[in-house]
Chain A
């Protein structure tokens, strides 16, 4: 039973570039959330997708956008990269969009912005 898979695992970009990160949720899950984890910090909520719509959003600028596809997979896009965007980006999936759902996290995509 595959868990949450993310790609790529590592990538390096330069300031001003754009990046797309991908996530396939755990089998049976239909809700995908994205978190940013800076070095030495706890993860911070970026946004959450359910039924192909953004349902909740954290305190992140519009440079961060996403998409969910009919097969529940998701993409995170970041435009006009800044040095401060360097972080581990974690995708988490769960089933349903209400109540106390335990999130299953992927291994993350580590983004370095030079």
Chain B
């Protein structure tokens, strides 16, 4: 059974600081997704990583994938308050988008 673990589960950081969220998964897969969820809202797609060594960047967020280590990271650079949300990684081992999500990392950026 595929297991996806994220850490930390909760992260409080000051504006302007850098930090990394880690996503470990138990079974080989080369399809990993990052989503953002604001309180009471739905999931918004951030990144799709489809191969070993893949790196994607959008604004202050950068995601990478190491399939050999079964690890993905979401790096936050110079955090701003607007990045406060819960971030989920999800792994797909099926042939068609049957995602297994991690427990999420709740990010709180303080002024």
User: Is A45 a contact partner of B42 (Cβ separation < 8 A)?
Assistant: no
Task: Give A105 to B103 CA distance when docked, in angstroms.
Answer: 17
Write out the residue numbers on chain B whose beta carbons fall within 8 Å of the beta carbon of A105. Answer: 35, 42-44
Residues 23-63 of chain A, each 1 if its beta carbon lies under 8 Å from chain B, else 0: 00000000101010000111111001010000110100000
Q: In the complex, how many residues of chain B place their beta carbon closer than 8 angstroms to a beta carbon of chain A?
A: 25
Contact status of A42 and B101, CB under 8 A, knowing A90-B43, A102-B48: yes
Which of A12-20, A68-76, A93-101 participates in binding chain B? Answer: A93-101
Residues 68-111 of chain B, each 1 if its beta carbon lies under 8 Å from chain A, else 0: 00000000000000000000101010111111111110000000
**Secondary structure call for the B interface:** strand
Task: Give A85 to B31 CA distance when docked, in angstroms.
Answer: 29
- 16 further interface pairs, Cβ-Cβ under 8 Å (given A94-B97, A102-B45): A4-B42, A31-B96, A42-B90, A42-B101, A42-B103, A43-B43, A43-B101, A45-B98, A48-B96, A56-B98, A100-B48, A100-B97, A102-B48, A103-B43, A105-B43, A107-B41
